[in-house]
Amino acid sequence: MELTTNHSFPRHTHDEYGIGVVLSGAQRSWSGVGLVESLPGDVISVNPGELHDGTPINGNVRRWRIIYFDPMVLTRDFMPETGREIEFVSPSLCDRALGQHVNLLFKRVTGGADRLGVEEILIEVVEQLVSPNTQPLNESRRPTPPVAKARARIDEDPSSKITLSELAALSGTTRYQIVRAFARDLGTTPHAYLVQSRVRLARQFLLEGETLAGAAQHAGFADQSHMTRAFVRQLGITPGRYLAAYN
């Protein structure tokens, strides 16, 4: 994906690994390692399930390109010797040479280059993003049992009607406690997490050929306009523009 926008993205996660580079403008992001800033040429990355946001510095437009990778494929095919899930060590790196490699990778992927040309540069990029002593994804990011139970309920069926009372009862806490625990462990609220889960679900339905109205209904949104607003807030583009990129 390549995007040019001054949109501020709320805290959210991705199911995939992301590797990208900032082309112009600048961005400030909250991440698991704290607040980081990314300038033109900087390499940006994200791990699956890693909470982050993105705000343009001084409200100016910034432009970046990013490639998302299925976690199983990236680990199995390109880092099999680790024997475990890999982790990118920094969400933003000032490394001009690495940035040029990411740009080349993007051009090869989108330009239909042969598989060998794509794979060899991808391995070079991934090796520079992963810690030499790769460990399982940071244990400190694992949520406490009450939050893990509440999150699992949302992940199980985000399209269904879910109440705070249900999540609290399932987790053995009060409504107040589960909201506080969610914010502490995941950096977001149960409702915000539910909305982003529904956006991911709607995206899946759309890519499978569902209509906009159908995707909204099946993903648990009140209507199509509600889905569109959530889509723009989470991804910075409308569902229609998102679909156009795949056609």
In a domain? residue 134: no
In a domain? residue 217: yes
Whether 123 and 194 share a structural domain: no
In a domain? residue 104: yes
Whether 116 and 6 share a structural domain: yes
Whether 156 and 236 share a structural domain: yes
Whether 25 and 109 share a structural domain: yes
pLDDT at 160 over 70: yes
Which has the minimum average pLDDT: 28-32, 34-38, 81-85, 194-198? 81-85
In a domain? residue 123: yes
In a domain? residue 113: yes
Residue 133 — pLDDT band, cuts 50, 70, 90?
A: very low
What's the whole-number mean pLDDT along residues 176-182?
90
pLDDT at 62 over 60: yes
pLDDT at 212 over 90: yes
What integer best gives the mean pLDDT of the chain?
Answer: 88
CA distances in angstroms from 24 to 64, 67, 141, 142, listed in the order given: 7, 17, 31, 34
Per-residue confidence (pLDDT) for residue 166, from 0 to 100: 94
Whether 27 and 83 share a structural domain: yes
In a domain? residue 137: no
- The domain that holds 186 is classified in CATH as 1.10.10.60
Residue 135 — pLDDT band, cuts 50, 70, 90?
A: very low
Token reading at 83? 């024997």
At how many degrees (to 10) do helices 115-129 and 71-78 cross? 100
Q: What is the number of structural domains in the chain?
A: 2
In a domain? residue 136: no
Residue that terminates a domain, selected from 129, 161, 192: 129
* H or E element that contains 229: helix 224-235
Residues found in the chain: 247
- The domain that holds 33 is classified in CATH as 2.60.120.280
Residue 79 — pLDDT band, cuts 50, 70, 90?
A: low
Per-residue confidence (pLDDT) for residue 137, from 0 to 100: 45
Per-residue confidence (pLDDT) for residue 136, from 0 to 100: 43
Which has the minimum average pLDDT: 4-13, 73-82, 131-140, 184-193? 131-140
Higher pLDDT, 83 or 183: 183
pLDDT at 170 over 90: yes
Number of H helices, E strands in the chain: 10, 9
Whether 187 and 91 share a structural domain: no
Per-residue confidence (pLDDT) for residue 106, from 0 to 100: 95
Whether 10 and 60 share a structural domain: yes
Per-residue confidence (pLDDT) for residue 141, from 0 to 100: 61
Phi then psi for residue 54, to 5 deg, are -160, 125
Whether 111 and 198 share a structural domain: no
pLDDT at 217 over 80: yes
Other Cβ atoms closer than 10 A to 160: 11
Residue that terminates a domain, selected from 106, 129, 152: 129
Whether 99 and 172 share a structural domain: no
Residue 247 — pLDDT band, cuts 50, 70, 90?
A: low
Token reading at 81? 């010797």
Whether 184 and 123 share a structural domain: no
What's the whole-number mean pLDDT along residues 205-230?
93
In a domain? residue 69: yes
Phi then psi for residue 19, to 5 deg, are -130, 120
What's the whole-number mean pLDDT along residues 56-75?
91
- Rounded to two decimals, the pTM is 0.72
CA distance 162 to 8: 27
Domain enclosing residue 204, as ranges = 143-244
Residue that terminates a domain, selected from 104, 129, 154: 129
Residue 81 — pLDDT band, cuts 50, 70, 90?
A: low
Instruction: Work out the percent of the chain whose per-residue pLDDT is above 70.
Output: 92
Residue 156 — pLDDT band, cuts 50, 70, 90?
A: very high
Collapse the DSSP code of 225 into the 3-class scheme (helix H, G, I; strand E, B; otherwise coil) and give the result: helix
Whether 11 and 48 share a structural domain: yes
Whether 214 and 121 share a structural domain: no
